[in-house]
Structure 1
Amino acid sequence: MDKMNLRRRILNTRSGLDEKVLRESSAAIREHLLEQPWVQMAGLVACYWSIGSEPSTHGLVFALWKHGTTVMLPVLQPDHDLDWAVYDGPDSLAPGPYGIMEPVDTRRGVDAIRTAALVIVPALAVDASTGVRLGRGGGSYDRALARVGPNVPTVALLHEGELIEDIPTESHDQRVAFGALPTGIIRLRQM
């Protein structure tokens, strides 16, 4: 199956998830992540503010922030690259392009992700064999992930059934080290 049809199929499945399933799945993912020592010890985390039927990151971002972790969220640039700014509580966000909430703090630049000790990214699916991440097709996160060091944990948040085999791969596609699902954290490749 090509990427466009795979994206369409996954988005269609996600649109059928009810609010209770979304809430429970997101809470389970959050708890699994917060139990990991490498999450607890990360002083600077690059994450994202989820939208729609994505596994919710709102509680995760808030929990990390309350724990004292510095959390950077992306700021979409006109060229679809990602700049980064610090989350400083619920009142530090404002709608950006496409209505996605972004931090209003000082922009740190596209290379700020290089300083993160943990990177959490959205994905529609991840290849269980290779760790290749399927995004929405804009390339923003592939560019951002290409800047991340080889020993930094990278995690894609997924619903059950989104860890699959044989995702079509192109040369620019980036891999993640872990998939976070409601049932647990899956290591996909060595860092």
Structure 2
Amino acid sequence: MALAKSQARAAILAARRSLSRQVRDREAAQLAAHLVALLSPGTIACAYIPVGSEPGSVALVEDAAARDVTVLLPVARNDDQGTPLPLRWGRYEPGRLVRAPFGLREPSPPWLPPEAIADAAVVLVPALAVDRDGARLGRGAGFYDRTLPLADPAALLVAVVRDEELVERLPAEPHDVAMTHALTPQRGLVALRRRTQSATPWE
């Protein structure tokens, strides 16, 4: 399974890197337009700032914040042994992002604890692919695997992917938290079947 995931990651990343800037910008604008209907003023949402060829844009986050949505962005760190910790969260404020480990940009401190994800009605999750049953293929670091079990069970867990990255079947493991929806440039918000999963948390 590890080899299959590794091969899938490599293929998807190669496809993303081959896209022109024009295509990336068009798809980012489409995602932002779909998000307007998803996030209501006064709500709390967890989002992310895209890295490299990831779908999305800073403008998407800015648009949400401008509509009176409280946007929380992830703060990723490892412990002293190099093991990923559950994500902490910082409130997005325009013009106040700083460079962070792993090539990320994040809000300046103070940060909220991992449990702050439970206040979010919508959690936008970066993904390389997601299947019709909600299985998500990430980059393999494990930050979201350790954080998503803390989300409100009623929250929308939305994998943000390109249209070609919404697939029929991906390998899944017992600790994986299934996505409830996918968000793609052309299809918009797509409800997923969400497979039955183990209640056992990540260890």
Q: TM-score, normalised by structure 1?
A: 0.92
Q: CA RMSD in A?
A: 1.4
Tell me the residue number matched to 1:86: 91
Question: Is the Cα–Cα contact under 8 Å of residues 42 and 117 in structure 1 kept in the other structure?
Answer: no
Is the counterpart of residue 178 in structure 1 residue 181 in structure 2? yes
Q: In structure 2, list runs of 5 or more residues that go unmatched.
A: 195-203
Corresponding letter in the other structure for 1:109? P
Is the counterpart of residue 149 in structure 1 residue 152 in structure 2? yes
Question: Is the Cα–Cα contact under 8 Å of residues 86 and 105 in structure 1 kept in the other structure?
Answer: no
CA distance in 1, matches of 2:30, 2:72: 22
| Deviation by residue 1:6-52 (Cα, 9 ceiling, x = unmatched) | 1111111111111000000111011012123xx22561111111111
User: Percent of aligned pairs with the same residue?
Assistant: 37
Tell me the residue number matched to 1:13: 15
Corresponding letter in the other structure for 1:19? R
CA distance in 1, matches of 2:193, 2:6: 25
Tell me the residue number matched to 2:114: 110
CA distance in 1, matches of 2:136, 2:146: 12
1:50 aligned counterpart, secondary structure: coil
Shift of residue 99 of structure 1?
2.4
Question: Is the Cα–Cα contact under 8 Å of residues 183 and 190 in structure 2 kept in the other structure?
Answer: yes
Tell me the residue number matched to 2:127: 123
Q: Residues 12 and 167 from structure 1, CA distance in 2 versus in 1: closer, same or farther, beyond 3 angstroms?
A: same
Shift of residue 166 of structure 1?
2.0
CA distance in 2, matches of 1:117, 1:127: 22
Question: Is the Cα–Cα contact under 8 Å of residues 42 and 118 in structure 1 kept in the other structure?
Answer: no
Tell me the residue number matched to 2:72: 72
CA distance in 2, matches of 1:154, 1:104: 25
Tell me the residue number matched to 1:96: 100
Q: In structure 1, list runs of 5 or more residues that go unmatched.
A: none
Give the aligned length.
186
